[in-house]
Structure 1
Amino acid sequence: MKKLYFIFTLLCFVIILSSCSNKPTAEQRLNEYINLWNKQNFSEMYRMLSADTQEKVSEKNFIDRYKNIYEAISVKNLKVSTKKIEEKEKEKATVSLPLSLSMETVAGPISFTKEVTLQKEEKEGEKNWYINWDPSLIFPQLKEGDEVKVTSDQPLRGEIYDRNNKGLAVNGTAYEIGIIPQKLLEDKDEILNQLAALLEIDRAQIDAKLNESWVKPELFVPIKKIDPADRERFEQIIDIPAVQKKDSASRYYPAGEASAHLIGYIGSITAEQLEKLKDKGYSTNSVVGKSGLEQVFEDRLKGETGYKIFVGGTNEVIAEKKARNGEAVYLTIDYQLQKNMYEQLKGDAGTAVALNPVTGETLAMVSSPAYNPNEFIFGMGASKYRELSEDPLKPLMARFNKLYSPGSSLKPLVGAVGLETGTVKGSDVKKIEGPTWQKDASWGNYFVKRVSTKVSDVNLQKALMYSDNIYFAQLALELGSEKFSTGLKQFGFDEKIDFIFPTGQSSIANSALSNDQLLADSGYGQGEIQMSPIHLAAAYTTFLNEGNMLKPYLEKTDEANVTVWKEKIISSETAAVILDDLKQVVENPEGTAYAPKLEGVQLAGKTGTAELKQSKDDTQGKENGWFVAADMNERHLLTAMMIEDVKSRGGSHYVVPKVKKVFEQYVKSSPQE
């Protein structure tokens, strides 16, 4: 019996010891608290606070304070830890343990070490360790009653310059037009209606601004920014009673419409954009690139907002990150050439690209019709935007990166493929008589039509000079679909062009190779061949670089960044033959690009007319006119210009004098250094 009693007593003692050993230590309790802290579970953290702490701060205030501070400073990667130590003096009611905390915030990383005190308390019949909390556990600088504040410092957006450091997108000063309410006279309605008309906004927009809660009779109420270059309108506005102006920092596009599609514009961030970009430092007050290079270079132009986290009242800094202004971007674009090319296109729907054919530098990218990007900055009215967006000529759309049928401007490439494959020699003559031709009766009523019937003995040079469709239709059939397709792919077809401005991929539709009629049409750039103006211009660099096709580039470097996109796609001999033939297109009086004769400047080039038919029998379809040309004197300029709907205006002959005017201004009047 005594033995059983001894065993029972021993078991009870073991259970009591085991129960005591299972009670968490101060270190274990702190680790529980830290685990909740890392999860930002502030409500459970509050339950682990000492009774004294809970008397001083309510659960709501505790939770709200942490949440508000952490949200305001955008806390990420919060890590709280404590060192493993040997707990001493276990019988004491309070223990101090080390705490390490680190986090990422809008103002950069924050880290600190702190001792936290835990004390034993009995709650609901059980003793445990509880945390003595005070605001310094949020940040050591904080005391009871202190607030954490955050201020931001906006960076300057990076500017965009041309090759000669002339601004294309700059940070300037605009006129902000506003009203002093107390100066509005008895003819208030007449004044506000007049102002609305001059600012091109609805009267309701002005009324809404004047009725905002902060407005007082003596305060300046901003209504709208206007372009400082619009002096005439500014003078009219400033003469209106009660109207004043203030200078305001603003983005500005000096080239206006001429560079609208290339440079683009900025605007206020949308909710959808903010959702995507919120982790990159954007806020509801941010502006972003909406189109063009403003959008392409957004990450480099925007800079980094500066932030300071500090204690309100004492202004003691907790963390600070200085603002970093956006990067300036320098382009290979020539501002004056860009303007000149736009002036030649203005009034027409079309596009033009200019390259330096021996370096690959992109000198101009123009699209017409255009819009004034400054109107987006200074506030475009709803009616104006509706007018632009509903215009059938699509002035909001960039054309230089879209795909078009190249028409006869493709013929030099097809001729080069013929020479390279041995399918044709430059001296070979085809007997072509009459204005039309078909392979055989299987084509039914479909015939290939010639541009000119002046010659019947046609070699490659004459075929290019007279732009003979029948010659190139027959050459495409002689090549066959495989050689034809392979040859054009050597020039970059069906391949994404490595160019910083997003550009469509030139293509040869499979259907274009599926039968003889479509293959013949493709031989002279019709059928279903699609090409971007940028790619077409780049393809012609092959003939000026001994068979190497250069990769066009848009960003200026310290030295010319000549990069071969396609090496030796044709031999130097083939390149020389084609280039000499292209000179005849422009210099020979019989050539399609001879008139008007440009004195003092020798050009080589090729015209092209692309018929936009809905079907093979369509005789009413529109035509796009092309002219691709290069300066043979200095070899500083190669242009590809396309104008839409030229059927009743002479076809490609409508385009030729416009391109020649560009060369006259650029090469003759403004020679390159």
Structure 2
Amino acid sequence: MTTRWMKPLAGCLVVLFLMAVTLGCKEAEPLPEDTMRAFVEAWRQAQYGSMYDLISADMKQQYTADTFTARYKSIYDGIGMSGLSIQWQPVEPAQDAKSAQGAKTSSGKKTQDQDAGTALYQFHVDMSTFAGPIAYDQTARLVKEKKTDGKTSSWKVRWDSGYIHPKLTDKDKVRVEETPPLRGEIVDRQGLGLAINEVKLEIGIVPKQLPAQPDDAIQKLADLLKMNAKDIQAKLKATWVKPEYFVPVTIISADDQRLEPIVSVPGADYRKKKVRSYPLEEAAAHLVGYIGKISAEELAKYKDKGYQTDDWIGKSGLELAFESTLRGKPGGRIFITDADGKEKATLVRREPANGENVQLTIDAELQLDMYRQLEKDTGAGVALHPLTGEVLAMVSVPAYNPNLFISGVSSEQWKQWSDNPAKPLLNRFARAYTPGSAFKPLTAAIALQNHTLDPDAERSIVGKQWKKDTSWGNYYVTRVSESQSAVNLATALMYSDNIYFAQTALELGAQKFVEEASKFGFGEKWNLPVALDTSTLSNNGKMKNEVQLADSGYGQGEVLMTPLHVAATYTVFANGGTMIKPKLLLNNDEKAVPWKSGLISPEVAKTVTDKMVEVIDNPAGTGHDAQVKGLRLAGKTGTAELKTKKDEAGQENGWFVAFDTEQPRLLTAIVVEQVQDRRGSHYISPKIKSLFSSYAAKKQ
């Protein structure tokens, strides 16, 4: 009996074992969520080709891989998409049943039960765009398809354009409309414009309105605009130009008298446009700077900040330094149009946020006056309020007209700037110069403060040349005049005696000289929105020998200072020994900020100031030509020699630093290059006189 049941039982066990083996070798049934997961992950990673591989066969007949990929990429690039987030989940059974009764996906097909080869998933999309966030909900339909072997199947996505946005159909287009913000203006302390937004006339050409032979018309327009005809022709050949388009050529002022003859040229036209304008033109060019069309390199660097291909951006000066403040935030909208261009829906809209104005401590009238005094020279000038540190003027000459960067710099103009040996594009007030004798009051102040100098003691100095001893070899210090043989501090400053200050520095000693002079801001970075060179006492911070120390005592050697730093050091004399920090942004509630407190005593400050008054008031003083009736000015002239050898001729730069002492409101520092054949620093005296005379008259 046992044997009779065992055989059938054993046979059954074998059959069950073989069935298990067969089932174990069979591929696992594909799941729709695996396809949905892969599709969403590829979407998040912008792998549009991988997404296309997962769409259904019937959809692939409607969309090629290139069309599919291009639609996603062009739309997302155009709207500035970032931060894409996609959440998804299966449709609940109750929802599925309800959907099966008539709900449709974006493809227009009724949902079906998953057992019938259909699966539904809800997904939620969030993204950021240039115009603001976009979010939407959509339903994805997945269908089960047989593979090419006809035996196995896989799940695919029945995709259409509604996945990009529910309001988008296959024939619709996504459009972008950007509204640029109004750029903030840069104004002076009185609110006068230094960089403003002004309505001007944009001159252009409509190609289809040109004569059949356009060369004569283009040449006539070029002559009127003082441009090269080839530059105009190049604009007309741009790839975006169409016959009916207005092709911008240049910008002119709204009251330009050339407008009538310009528009009489066949094909020429104009339109009003609000553009950047620089009222002071060359006078404030290096300070204010200019804006220009964003370059490819800048676009790559700042694209994450919302910049677009045709945007304008600060290129130099304060326009560059305050770019984030002045620019504002662009507005715009993203909308859908149908195949005929008719607008269907706005997806997101953001109003532009205009840029903020920047108000400077600059006095536009003084800025212009200083430029006019220097416009025929090569050099720089700065002006401070000696008690507050407010920067009143910063001028560099020669200069350029920044408005040309708005209207368009011609090739001839660029060549003229580039070939000019005086380098008008170079910002000289940012450059460190050898200060020469303008440094001598600092040497005097340091020595007085350290009690190594008696201001009334007379030194016997005979002849024009002096050296300490034979260890100096053939090197010697030369003074300008040998008229004085008994020299004290007053006569040393008045006659600008190099030997006196060389000896003063040697008496201080190298260590004390470097230690005390460094306290005046040498080697320190400027906390200002304009880039300035760092002033230095020497190339390595030390004096390599006594010769260098002696030369440094009268501002030669390796001493380098920017005009602003020279001016700032003189504030110690107007503030009882405290050096005031220069500032460029106006804040009427902010008090003067000490940069270096108590560098010298009030007594030392007064002593040096009184001696500098003699430089201008005394007829024998080197700065006497700058004397202004009714003003008690203190100052110091200086001539810095740039030579490779002691006895050879070389370039000389002239300095003049001055401030009013009784009611301190103005401190100026001017450096002019190449004064060797123009009476040296005496060349600058009339300029100083004119500046203080005008400023004093204005303030009365």
On whether the aligned pair clears a TM of 0.5, the verdict is yes
Return 539-548 or 585-594, whichever deviates more: 585-594
1:470 is paired with a residue of what secondary structure? Answer: helix
**Are residue 62 (structure 1) and residue 62 (structure 2) matched?**
no
- Amino acid in the other structure paired with 1:608: G
1:373 is paired with a residue of what secondary structure? Answer: coil
Q: 1:503 matched to which residue of 2?
A: 532
2:307 is paired with a residue of what secondary structure? Answer: coil
Alignment partner of 1:74 out of 62, 75, 80 = 80
The change in CA–CA distance for 1:130 and 1:461 in structure 2 (over 3 A counts) is: same
Return 174-183 or 629-638, whichever deviates more: 174-183
What are the Cα deviations for residues 289-335 of structure 1, in whole angstroms up to 9, with x where unaligned? 22221122222222222231111134311122222222211111111
Q: 1:258 matched to which residue of 2?
A: 283
The change in CA–CA distance for 1:669 and 1:159 in structure 2 (over 3 A counts) is: same
Task: Please give the alpha-carbon distance, in whole angstroms, between the structure 2 residues aligned to 1:517 and 1:205.
Answer: 57
Task: Please give the alpha-carbon distance, in whole angstroms, between the structure 2 residues aligned to 1:29 and 1:240.
Answer: 65
1:656 is paired with a residue of what secondary structure? Answer: helix
Q: Where in structure 2 are the equivalents of 1:272-671 lying within 5 Å?
A: 272-313=297-338, 314-510=343-539, 513-618=543-648, 620-666=649-695, 668-671=696-699
8 A Cα contact 2:378 2:422, kept in partner:
yes
Task: Please give the alpha-carbon distance, in whole angstroms, between the structure 1 residues aligned to 2:391 and 2:139.
Answer: 63
2:182 is paired with a residue of what secondary structure? Answer: coil
- Amino acid in the other structure paired with 1:473: A
The structural deviation recorded for 1:11 is: 4.8
Task: Please give the alpha-carbon distance, in whole angstroms, between the structure 2 residues aligned to 1:235 and 1:289.
Answer: 33
Task: Please give the alpha-carbon distance, in whole angstroms, between the structure 1 residues aligned to 2:373 and 2:474.
Answer: 40
8 A Cα contact 2:206 2:243, kept in partner:
no
8 A Cα contact 2:90 2:121, kept in partner:
no
- Amino acid in the other structure paired with 1:272: E
Task: Please give the alpha-carbon distance, in whole angstroms, between the structure 2 residues aligned to 1:142 and 1:235.
Answer: 49
The structure with the larger Rg is 2
Task: Give unmatched runs, 5+ long, in structure 1.
Answer: none
8 A Cα contact 2:282 2:402, kept in partner:
yes
| Structure 2 length-normalised TM | 0.88
Task: Please give the alpha-carbon distance, in whole angstroms, between the structure 2 residues aligned to 1:346 and 1:480.
Answer: 42
What are the Cα deviations for residues 467-487 of structure 1, in whole angstroms up to 9, with x where unaligned? 211111011111222111111
1:250 is paired with a residue of what secondary structure? Answer: strand
The change in CA–CA distance for 1:54 and 1:376 in structure 2 (over 3 A counts) is: closer
What are the Cα deviations for residues 500-554 of structure 1, in whole angstroms up to 9, with x where unaligned? 1000011122477111112111110011111111111111112222222222111
The change in CA–CA distance for 1:141 and 1:16 in structure 2 (over 3 A counts) is: farther
Q: 1:104 matched to which residue of 2?
A: 128
- Amino acid in the other structure paired with 2:46: Q
The structural deviation recorded for 1:20 is: 8.1
Cα RMSD for the two superposed structures: 2.9
Alignment partner of 2:294 out of 252, 269, 294 = 269
The structural deviation recorded for 1:622 is: 1.6
8 A Cα contact 2:625 2:689, kept in partner:
no
Alignment partner of 1:202 out of 219, 228, 233 = 228
The change in CA–CA distance for 1:415 and 1:95 in structure 2 (over 3 A counts) is: same
The structural deviation recorded for 1:616 is: 2.1
The change in CA–CA distance for 1:316 and 1:245 in structure 2 (over 3 A counts) is: closer
Q: 1:153 matched to which residue of 2?
A: 179
The structural deviation recorded for 1:9 is: 4.8
The change in CA–CA distance for 1:21 and 1:214 in structure 2 (over 3 A counts) is: closer
The change in CA–CA distance for 1:430 and 1:83 in structure 2 (over 3 A counts) is: farther
- Amino acid in the other structure paired with 1:214: K
8 A Cα contact 1:206 1:223, kept in partner:
yes
The structural deviation recorded for 1:425 is: 3.3
Alignment partner of 2:36 out of 4, 23, 30 = 30
8 A Cα contact 1:359 1:560, kept in partner:
no
The change in CA–CA distance for 1:144 and 1:637 in structure 2 (over 3 A counts) is: same
| Structure 1 length-normalised TM | 0.91
- Amino acid in the other structure paired with 2:304: D
The structural deviation recorded for 1:147 is: 1.9
1:215 is paired with a residue of what secondary structure? Answer: coil
- Amino acid in the other structure paired with 1:256: E
The structural deviation recorded for 1:168 is: 0.7
The structural deviation recorded for 1:671 is: 0.7
- Amino acid in the other structure paired with 1:541: T
What are the Cα deviations for residues 109-140 of structure 1, in whole angstroms up to 9, with x where unaligned? 22223332333333342233332323222112
Task: Please give the alpha-carbon distance, in whole angstroms, between the structure 2 residues aligned to 1:516 and 1:317.
Answer: 78
Count of residues paired in the alignment? 667
The structural deviation recorded for 1:170 is: 1.1
The structural deviation recorded for 1:367 is: 0.9
1:149 is paired with a residue of what secondary structure? Answer: strand
- Amino acid in the other structure paired with 2:433: Y
Task: Please give the alpha-carbon distance, in whole angstroms, between the structure 2 residues aligned to 1:61 and 1:179.
Answer: 37
1:114 is paired with a residue of what secondary structure? Answer: strand
Return 85-94 or 480-489, whichever deviates more: 85-94
The change in CA–CA distance for 1:16 and 1:303 in structure 2 (over 3 A counts) is: farther
The change in CA–CA distance for 1:595 and 1:67 in structure 2 (over 3 A counts) is: closer
Return 535-544 or 333-342, whichever deviates more: 535-544
Return 377-386 or 365-374, whichever deviates more: 377-386
8 A Cα contact 2:659 2:668, kept in partner:
yes
The change in CA–CA distance for 1:17 and 1:425 in structure 2 (over 3 A counts) is: farther
The change in CA–CA distance for 1:102 and 1:330 in structure 2 (over 3 A counts) is: same
2:638 is paired with a residue of what secondary structure? Answer: strand
The change in CA–CA distance for 1:64 and 1:515 in structure 2 (over 3 A counts) is: same
Task: Please give the alpha-carbon distance, in whole angstroms, between the structure 1 residues aligned to 2:495 and 2:639.
Answer: 13
Return 54-63 or 25-34, whichever deviates more: 54-63
The structural deviation recorded for 1:157 is: 1.9
Task: Give unmatched runs, 5+ long, in structure 2.
Answer: 1-5, 95-112
Task: Please give the alpha-carbon distance, in whole angstroms, between the structure 1 residues aligned to 2:28 and 2:208.
Answer: 77
Task: Please give the alpha-carbon distance, in whole angstroms, between the structure 2 residues aligned to 1:428 and 1:12.
Answer: 121
Return 12-21 or 125-134, whichever deviates more: 12-21
The structural deviation recorded for 1:268 is: 1.9
8 A Cα contact 1:31 1:81, kept in partner:
no
2:699 is paired with a residue of what secondary structure? Answer: coil
Q: 1:214 matched to which residue of 2?
A: 242
The change in CA–CA distance for 1:123 and 1:187 in structure 2 (over 3 A counts) is: closer
Identity value in percent: 43
Task: Please give the alpha-carbon distance, in whole angstroms, between the structure 2 residues aligned to 1:39 and 1:188.
Answer: 52
What are the Cα deviations for residues 634-662 of structure 1, in whole angstroms up to 9, with x where unaligned? 21111101111111211111112201211
Q: 1:116 matched to which residue of 2?
A: 140
What are the Cα deviations for residues 228-253 of structure 1, in whole angstroms up to 9, with x where unaligned? 56x46557656767755433332111
